[in-house]
């Protein structure tokens, strides 16, 4: 399900996933459970409690993003077997989050990537969008016009940008034709993705769907 084996990618995916649930008025025990896991991790590593979240703690004890993902699940399994009370606190009420379709969401991220993905990078943006869409699918929501258009974009990348005999997922093609995932740099994957997205939108006559004002 994740585009790559990385704890950072899981972090962005799950953040968008549970935000989409809240957009639809749904609650989940998982964010609360992760908070219990966070407190357990402080004890597990004899750390003084602070502002560091689960993903930051695990990452600091790992050799890289792939190792961090493996370690996350190993530690969570250990947490589950610990017997420590971790009953999730279901949210009886929470602040309403305005619903955003995929087009407005992308436009908002383009305006202020820090608010959504920490900094401008394609890996985080891709994971965020995947989490948003997957939540909709898991809730049984019909695909919106924006989501259908974005799915067409993915096929367009695979059909027009690959230039290879063997097929690859669209996001791999974006990364391949980029000079690293270096934020707003002209050759960075984040910029290449948005440039191709605007190119595709222009070709299908939907110029303003994904473009920030």
> Is 12 within the bounds of a domain?
no
Residue 199 and residue 119 share a domain: yes
pLDDT of residue 88: 54
Which value, in Å, is the radius of gyration of the alpha carbons in the chain? 19
> Is 170 within the bounds of a domain?
yes
Residue 119 and residue 75 share a domain: no
Regions of the chain where pLDDT drops below 50: 92-93
Residue in 209, 3, 38, 1 with CA at minimum distance from that of residue 126: 3
> Is 9 within the bounds of a domain?
no
pTM exceeding the 0.85 threshold for the entire prediction: yes
pLDDT of residue 184: 77
Domain interval for residue 45? 30-80
Show Cβ contacts of residue 199 under 8 Å, excluding neighbours closer than 6 positions.
Answer: none
- Whether 157 and 147 have beta carbons less than 8 Å apart is answered as no
> Is 152 within the bounds of a domain?
yes
Show Cβ contacts of residue 45 under 8 Å, excluding neighbours closer than 6 positions.
Answer: 57, 61
pLDDT of residue 181: 86
pLDDT of residue 52: 85
Residue 190 and residue 105 share a domain: yes
Residue 193 and residue 105 share a domain: yes
- CB burial string 131-151: b at 16+ within 10 A, e below: bbbbbbeeeeeeeeebbebbe
pLDDT of residue 14: 95
pLDDT of residue 17: 96
> Is 2 within the bounds of a domain?
no
Residue 150 and residue 198 share a domain: yes
> Is 197 within the bounds of a domain?
yes
> Is 195 within the bounds of a domain?
yes
Q: At 70, phi and psi to the nearest 5?
A: -60, -45
C-alpha span between 162 and 167 (Å, rounded)? 7
pLDDT of residue 129: 97
C-alpha span between 51 and 18 (Å, rounded)? 20
pLDDT of residue 94: 53
Residue in 168, 108, 166, 167 with CA at minimum distance from that of residue 132: 108
Q: At 209, phi and psi to the nearest 5?
A: -65, -40
Query: Based on the structure, what is the number of domains in the chain?
Result: 2
Residue 67 and residue 105 share a domain: no
The per-residue DSSP string of 69-82 comes to HHHHHHHHHHHHTS
pLDDT of residue 183: 76
């Amino acid at each position: 399900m994740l585009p790559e084996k990385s704890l950072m990618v899981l972090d962005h995916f799950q953040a968008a996933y549970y935000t989409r649930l809240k957009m639809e008025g749904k609650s989940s025990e998982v964010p609360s459970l992760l908070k219990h896991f966070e407190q357990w991790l402080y004890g597990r590593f004899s750390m003084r409690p602070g502002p560091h979240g689960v993903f930051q703690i695990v990452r600091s004890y790992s050799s890289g993003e792939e190792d961090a993902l493996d370690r996350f699940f190993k530690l969570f399994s250990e947490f589950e077997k610990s017997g420590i009370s971790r009953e999730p606190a279901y949210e009886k009420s929470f602040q309403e989050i305005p619903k955003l379709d995929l087009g407005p969401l992308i436009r908002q991220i383009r305006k202020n990537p820090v608010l959504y993905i920490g900094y401008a990078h394609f890996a985080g943006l891709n994971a965020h969008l995947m989490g948003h869409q997957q939540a909709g699918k898991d809730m049984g929501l019909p695909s919106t016009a924006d989501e259908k258009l974005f799915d067409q974009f993915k096929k367009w990348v695979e059909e027009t940008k690959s230039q290879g005999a063997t097929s690859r997922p669209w996001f791999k093609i974006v990364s391949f034709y980029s000079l690293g995932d270096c934020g707003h740099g002209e050759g960075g994957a984040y910029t290449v993705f948005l440039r191709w997205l605007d190119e595709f939108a222009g070709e299908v006559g939907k110029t303003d769907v994904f473009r920030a004002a």
